[in-house]
Amino acid sequence: MSDEKLIRFLKAADGARWSHVPSVWLEQLRTALNENLVKVGWGGIIELTETGKIAKRSLTEHRG
């Protein structure tokens, strides 16, 4: 998966308050869960972990 898709997913997930992730993001969700970038919070809401926030910031800065 490209960093670009992961960046877009992390940006979309940050604050989205999804309880059901749109199917277009399922691959990115699986990757983010495996890499501890997101977690399932109270009520099933997808939340960025501290690691996810750092990764989003790092990938965004690296991208330019």
Model pLDDT for residues 25-35, shown as the tens digit of each residue: 999 999 999 99
pLDDT above 70 for 43: yes
Q: What is the C-alpha to C-alpha distance for residues 3 and 55, in angstroms, rounded to an integer?
A: 10
What is the extent of the structural domain holding 40? 3-63
pTM: 0.81
Q: In 3-state terms, the chain is what percent helix, strand and coil (to 5)?
A: 60, 10, 30
Number of domains in the chain: 1
pLDDT above 70 for 58: yes
